[in-house]
Structures are given as structure tokens and as C-alpha cells.
Amino acid sequence: MRIDIISVVPELLNSPFQASILKRAISKGLVEIKVHNLRDYAVKSYDQVDDYQYGGGSGMVLMIEPIEKCINQLKEDRNYDEIIYMTPDGERFDQKMANRLSLHKNIILLCGHYKGVDQRVRDHFITREISIGDYVLSGGELGALVVSDAVIRLIPGVLGNQDSALTDSFQDDLLAPPIYTRPAEYKGMKVPEVLRSGNFAKIDEWREEQAEKNTQKRRPDLMDDEC
């Protein structure tokens, strides 16, 4: 899979890809991440990428021309399954969307900044708009990182143990059960006996029960979800 991220602050997008699981996924060749500085596509006559809003109002707007130039240059080399704009008024990102996106070959994530992008970009070049939650960030970069991380860890071979992505919270509309590691007892706090019993049928049953209890208590809305 290849993810192209377009941003006016590309430096925000470096370090998360240089550590841990994402770094390993890149070095194994399972995913390719390319960050593009929108300023490299600045309109020559203005040497800028943003401008004031028509009609007045505070905040700058990212211009259509640099964005179109950048997207067109990328599209010359490959087809994209989705050209996604990160925005607080987009469709809410969730595990199901991450699962679907992880099946794609090439996607573009366009990060808004300042007030956002000229509406004509959204109307003509964007195939999907994603929000990572009901709050406003300073730009789409953190959202693009959240989406990239959630998607990349689902690509086969990225996680050492393939089961591990499938048993994540939300994969079956249930939160994950509690987990423990050594020591078996710490200052009187004990690991549940069943997990140390070696009886894997019982352990599975306990985990299922705990996942249901957890979900009922913290996120009952997930259990009502039909789809």
C-alpha cells in the first residue's frame, strides 16, 4: 500500500513513521509513505498557497491551484483508490473504515490547515472526507497520522502475530477484555486465576464474557450497532 500525504507543515508528519510498528512496516516494504509539501506547488505569480476568504471572515484558505497541481502530479504516476480530505466536518473515522481503507493500493490524504481548503477542491478532487472526532484540530496532519496508523497495522504482515489486529477492540463491536502480564501477584493484586489455568477453552470464554461486560459498561452503543 502507498499513502501520499499532502500538507503545508510536513515536519509534523515525520517522527511517527520513524519508530516502532510503522517504521518496521515501511522497512519491510509493506507500506510506502510519501509526504508532500504543498509549498512546493505554490502558485508562482503569488508564491503562496493560501489566501483570504471571499466574502470576508477570519482565517486563511488553502488555494485550489497548488492542491490541484500536487494531486495531478501524483495521479500521473498511479491511480488512486481514494483522495481523502481530513476535516472536522467529514465522515467519522472508525475501525470499519480503517478495515476498508487497508484493502486499498494507493490513497492520498490531504491535510487542511488554517480555515481549510477552497470548497472547489472538495467538490471536484476529493472522493471522501474524514473526521477523527468531534473537535477541531489546528490542521489535518494529526488526523492523517491517526488514519495512517490505524490502517497500516491492519496490512497483513505488519503485526508480528496476525491474530493481534483481529482481537483489537472494535473489530467485533466489542471492547477488548482486560490483559495482564507478570508478576502473577503484585502487592496483593492478583491476576485472575483462570488466565493462569492453562485451560484455553475457559480462557476464551472468560475473555468473551469480560469483553461483553466492558462494552456493556463503557460503550453500550456498540452493542446496539446492527451493522
- For residue 92, the SS3 value is strand
| 6 makes contact with ligand ADE (CB under 6 A) | no
Region of 55-63, 81-89, 99-107, 120-128 interacting with ligand ADE (CB under 6 A): 81-89
Measured from the CB of residue 122, what is the shortest distance to ligand ADE in angstroms?
Answer: 13
Region of 40-48, 56-64, 85-93, 159-167 interacting with ligand ADE (CB under 6 A): 85-93
Residue 183: cis peptide before it, omega within 30 degrees of 0:
yes
Site string for ligand ADE, 101-130 (x = CB under 6 A): -----------x------------------
Measured from the CB of residue 150, what is the shortest distance to ligand ADE in angstroms?
Answer: 13
User: DSSP string of 22-91?
Assistant: HHHHHHTTS-EEEEEEGGGG-BTTTTBSEEPPTT--SS-EE-HHHHHHHHHHHHHH---SEEEEEEEEEE
CA distances from 164 to 14, 25, 155, 156 (A): 26, 15, 12, 11
Measured from the CB of residue 144, what is the shortest distance to ligand ADE in angstroms?
Answer: 8
| 69, 41 Cβ separation under 8 angstroms | yes
Among 25, 31, 107, 132, which residue sits at the site for ligand ADE (rule: CB under 6 A)? 132
| 13 makes contact with ligand ADE (CB under 6 A) | no
Paired strand residues for 82:
107
Q: Of 59, 21, 15, 56, nearest to 35 (Cα)?
A: 15
Read off φ and ψ for residue 43, nearest 5 degrees. Answer: -65, 120
| 131 makes contact with ligand ADE (CB under 6 A) | yes
Measured from the CB of residue 184, what is the shortest distance to ligand ADE in angstroms?
Answer: 42
| 152 makes contact with ligand ADE (CB under 6 A) | no
Q: 31 vs 117, which CB is nearer to ligand ADE?
A: 117
| 150 makes contact with ligand ADE (CB under 6 A) | no
Number of residues located near ligand ADE, criterion CB under 6 A: 13
